[in-house]
């Protein structure tokens, strides 16, 4: 892992909310081609770090580099066009629109076009149907997104992110609230995408899933990493075991 090219580099990132330091001079490197995990207790700053990387929030200090380019002053949509995608802890689909319409929604102007026309066609629709096939949801393409289970909606959101052809996808709690049978499918989809060259940074509370899927694992505490290594090392690190894995 160490000899892979860094795709994402966070250097000394800091974010304060009033007197609270949510991210405290954090350094983090995500190697190209890796599935890197970010774990740690609630309130340790993982989601805030995601927000700094995607541009939803501006850091008070530090630098963020993506693909060799400094991005921390760029707006979120520019970061998206550079190849940075993310999913959310709670899905943000348009529940009354069809699954297919949701998948094309992030494409420029697509949302308004599909709302007006009510149907999706052309190259975008072909690509969206292909991605729905990839995540195993082809048969739901024309159903309202709100009629799918929560885990299926998370897969729709992943297909939506894939429309932008990202190089790095940040997954925020992908297994949260998801039926265990779909967690397995989600892991297979992530592995399949990773084999095609997509890099992942995953925040997840499901530690067995993280240890199975991700390498390396970064452990966050009080706004910065306290340990980083392969799952085998993290599993046996006494500090990590004691504080975070509850073993
Ligand atoms: P995690 O994702 O590890 O659970 P968060 O990044 O959500 O942690 O939160 C880190 C700390 O920052 C917490 O104490 C949280 O209450 C605080 N925090 C997060 N977002 C905000 C916000 N928008 N305003 C004020 N405090 C926030």
Alpha-carbon span 80 to 3, nearest angstrom: 26
Could you identify the atom of ligand 1 that is nearest to the CA of residue 42?
4
Residue of 10, 13, 18, 20 with the most ligand 1 atoms within 8 Å of its CB, for mutation:
20
Tell me which of 134, 165, 196 is where a domain ends: 165
**Cα torsion through 158, 81, 75, 25, rounded to 10:** 70
Closest residue by CA, ligand 1 atom 17: 22
**pLDDT per residue over 133-153, tens digit each?**
999 999 999 999 999 998 899
- Dist. CA 98 → ligand 1 center (Å): 33
Specify the number of domains making up the chain: 2
Alpha-carbon span 200 to 170, nearest angstrom: 6
Pairing of strands 199-203, 224-229: unpaired
| 69 and 181 housed in the same domain | yes
Structure-model confidence comparison of residues 135 and 244, the more confident one:
135
| 134 and 62 housed in the same domain | no
Tell me which of 165, 195, 213 is where a domain ends: 165
| 137 and 31 housed in the same domain | no
| 74 and 181 housed in the same domain | yes
Closest residue by CA, ligand 1 atom 6: 45
Q: What is the mean pLDDT of residues 76-82?
A: 93
Could you identify the atom of ligand 1 that is nearest to the CA of residue 49?
6
| 135 and 237 housed in the same domain | no
User: Could you tell me the sign of the dihedral formed by the alpha carbons of 93, 95, 98, 101, in that order?
Assistant: negative
How many CA atoms lie less than 13 Å away from 75 in the CB half-sphere?
A: 2
DSSP letters along 130-144, please?
HHHHHTT-GGGTTSB
196-208: burial string, b at 16+ Cβ within 10 Å, e else: eebbbbbbbebbe
CA distance readout (Å), 136 to 69, 90, 185: 35, 21, 8
Crossing angle of the two packed helices 150-162 and 180-195, in degrees rounded to 10? 10
Bridge partners (DSSP) of residue 26 are 13
CB atoms within 10 A of CB 144: 16
Q: Is 119 helix (H, G, I), strand (E, B) or coil?
A: coil
Q: 172 exposed, middle or buried (CB, 10 Å; 0-12, 13-18, 19+)?
A: buried
Q: Domain of 158?
A: 91-165
Task: Give 45's DSSP letter.
Answer: S
Ramachandran bin of 219, using left for φ above 0, alpha for ψ from -120 to 50, beta for the remaining angles = beta
| 186 and 244 housed in the same domain | yes
What pLDDT sits at residue 162? 93
- CB–CB of 144/95 below 8 Å? yes
Structure-model confidence comparison of residues 246 and 124, the more confident one:
124
- Dist. CA 193 → ligand 1 center (Å): 30
Tell me which of 142, 165, 188 is where a domain ends: 165
| 34 and 142 housed in the same domain | no
Could you identify the atom of ligand 1 that is nearest to the CA of residue 51?
6
| 97 and 160 housed in the same domain | yes
**pLDDT per residue over 186-234, tens digit each?**
999 999 999 999 999 999 988 888 989 999 999 998 999 998 999 887 7
Alpha-carbon span 31 to 48, nearest angstrom: 20
Q: Is 64 helix (H, G, I), strand (E, B) or coil?
A: strand
- Dist. CA 23 → ligand 1 center (Å): 9
Q: Which of 25-29, 68-72, 112-116, 125-129 has the lowest mean pLDDT?
A: 112-116
Peptide bond between residue 154 and the one before it cis (omega within 30 degrees of 0): no
| 73 and 185 housed in the same domain | yes
Write out residues with Cβ below 6 Å of ligand 1. Answer: 17, 20, 22, 40, 42-48
74: CATH: 3.40.50.300
- Dist. CA 52 → ligand 1 center (Å): 12
What pLDDT sits at residue 245? 53
What pLDDT sits at residue 247? 43
| 46 and 149 housed in the same domain | no
- Dist. CA 215 → ligand 1 center (Å): 25
| 246 and 182 housed in the same domain | yes
| 70 and 9 housed in the same domain | yes
């Amino acid at each position: 892992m160490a000899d892979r090219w860094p795709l994402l580099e966070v250097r000394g990132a800091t974010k304060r909310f009033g007197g609270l330091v949510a991210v405290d001079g954090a350094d983090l490197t995500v190697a190209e081609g890796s599935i890197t995990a970010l774990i740690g207790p609630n309130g340790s700053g993982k989601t805030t770090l995601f927000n700094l990387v995607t541009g939803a929030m501006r850091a008070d200090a530090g630098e963020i580099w993506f693909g060799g380019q400094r991005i921390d002053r760029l707006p979120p949509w520019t970061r998206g066009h550079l190849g940075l995608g993310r999913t959310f802890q709670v899905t943000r689909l348009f529940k009354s629109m069809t699954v297919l319409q949701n998948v094309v929604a992030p494409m420029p102007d697509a949302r308004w076009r599909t709302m007006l026309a009510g149907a999706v066609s052309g190259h975008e629709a072909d690509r969206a149907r292909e991605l729905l096939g990839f995540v195993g949801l082809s048969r739901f393409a024309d159903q309202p997104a709100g009629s799918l289970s929560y885990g299926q909606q998370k897969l729709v959101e992943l297909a939506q992110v894939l429309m932008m052809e990202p190089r790095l996808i940040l997954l925020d709690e992908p297994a949260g609230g998801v039926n265990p049978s779909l967690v397995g499918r989600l892991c297979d989809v992530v592995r399949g995408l990773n084999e095609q060259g997509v890099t992942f940074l995953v925040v997840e509370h499901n530690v067995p899933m993280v240890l199975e899927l991700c390498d390396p694992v970064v452990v966050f505490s009080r706004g910065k990493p306290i340990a980083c290594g392969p799952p085998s090392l993290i599993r046996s690190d006494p500090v990590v075991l004691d504080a975070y894995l509850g073993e």
